[in-house]
Amino acid sequence: MSPSPRRGANAAGPGARRPAEPSTPGPLRQLRVSDLRGVARLATQATTGISRVAEGVHQSVLGTLGLPGGAQPGQARGLTGLVYQSIRGVTWLVDAGLQAGLARLEPFFEPAVPHTGVQWEREAVLAALNGVMGDRLQRDGNPLCTRMGFHREGLPLDLPALAASGAVTGKVLVLVHGLCMNDLQWLHQGHDHGAYLAQALGCTPVYLRYNTGLHTCANGAELAAQLESLVRDWPVPVTEVAVLAHSMGGLVARSACHQAVAQGLGWPALLRHLVCLGTPHHGAPLEKAGHWVDILLGSTPYSRPFARLAQLRSAGITDLRHGHVLESDGQGRDRFHRQPDRRVPVPLPEGVACHAIAATLAARRSPVAERLVGDGLVPLHSALGIHDDARWTLGFAKDRQAVFHRMGHLALLGDAGVARQLEQWLRPA
């Protein structure tokens, strides 16, 4: 185990990046017409959703009086039902007009200036929105939906420009962010693990941006395909690949490895290291708490319509209940229905040096801290891949585990001790 560094210590030095200074104009300057279309669509869905909740409550009250409802559960009948249907119909007509009008305006506006201080705020808001309801955004074709792709400095990866800069090597470091985050947020407290390791080890970092509201298996499949293309099109021959993943990113990376091997892709043969920072390999308590909200709201006819609100959380979030990495883990099951852990055990990728870093808010290791405290979001055992059932224990080697005390989940991104541990593990023997 590595020693516990001082909490909040930064890895300042030649490998650290300084955050961009925010520009003086307000965030509204960064709004795009596509943003307005996306927000309009969300407002439409919110209005129709609230009308359905109101209709459900209305019918629940009438049901207790013995009055029949409409053809569907929670649906009112007669004139009352017609009123609710009219509200939803008019709302969608207004939305159609807004979408058509804004779509015509979109070509007349220049794209927003990329990668300014305010742009970081916009991207952070979009990342959070996609984490909470990214599956819905994708299903509805909302322009606010994030598409998976590799980035550098907040911009889509341009391989010809990277080759021309002379900053490319055959050692590729892929960084995969966590839930409700994006590639820019690897910069934490003035430090970026990717930039630090590029300086220390001579590797070339690329940062994945993806929709964290999708199922982890769907993101894993897309990452497996995009890594194959990345290795094929890399400007120089790739000698090795390392993946550094934070939080949910570790589940996505494990899913990508598993699916790539099953498909016979080439990049797993180049994968040398997989490092997971605070990954909930066996689930996170907060999603389980959200699951209990579903149960409580559904316990009475009066509160049952409000269960729709609790069920807005995305597929990506509900995958964190047990740490799903395969499509079969949740296939054919209602993800909002209480059920035991039925995952198919997925071992760590063979022939790859797999490492796990966990954090705990506790000052020292203890049974209580290991079971309950964790880093504030992920329990210690979950981050280390340890499970009461041996079938699901991942088996990270002892010398490939590190625990940092008095540290929270996000502090793993900017801590000096964590950076030194990463350098030690990834440095060639």
pLDDT digits (tens, 9 = 90+) for 123-179: 887 888 788 788 988 988 888 889 999 999 999 999 999 999 988 999 999 999 999
Does residue 301 carry a pLDDT above 70? no
**Among 259, 183, 180, 179, residue whose Cα is nearest residue 217:** 259
Could you tell me the pTM of the whole model?
Answer: 0.75
Percent of the chain with pLDDT over 90: 45
pLDDT reading at 55 higher than 70: no
Work out the percent of the chain whose per-residue pLDDT is above 70: 61
Residue with tokens 């090597």: 169
366: left (phi over 0), alpha (psi -120 to 50) or beta: beta
Q: Please report which confidence band the pLDDT of residue 321 belongs to, taking 50, 70 and 90 as the band edges.
A: confident
Q: For position 132, what pLDDT does the model report?
A: 79
Q: What is the pLDDT of residue 308?
A: 53
Structure confidence at residue 104 (pLDDT): 55
pLDDT digits (tens, 9 = 90+) for 176-190: 999 989 999 999 999
Residues 206, 274 contacting (CB under 8 angstroms): no
| Interval 30-53: pLDDT, tens | 555 455 555 555 555 555 544 454
pLDDT, residue 364, reads: 72
The answer to whether 358 and 378 are in contact (CB under 8 A) is: yes
- pLDDT beyond 70 at 83: no
**DSSP secondary structure string, 2-28?**
PPPPPTT-B--STTPPPPPPPPSS-GG
- How far apart, in whole angstroms, are the C-alpha atoms of residue 46 and residue 232? 43
Q: Name residues whose C-beta falls within 8 Å of residue 93's C-beta, 6 or more positions apart in sequence.
A: none
Query: What pLDDT does residue 246 have?
Result: 97
pLDDT (mean) for 45-73: 49
Closest-CA residue to 62 (of 297, 296, 302, 307):
302
Per-residue CA distances from 275 to 76, 94, 259, 401, 418 (Å): 53, 49, 18, 10, 11
pLDDT at 145: 86
pLDDT band at 391 (very low <50, low <70, confident <90, very high): confident
Give the per-residue pLDDT at 18: 38
Among 16-20, 286-290, 305-309, 422-426, the range scoring the smallest mean pLDDT is 16-20
Dist CA 316 CA 137 (whole Å):
13
**Higher-pLDDT residue of 297, 205:** 205
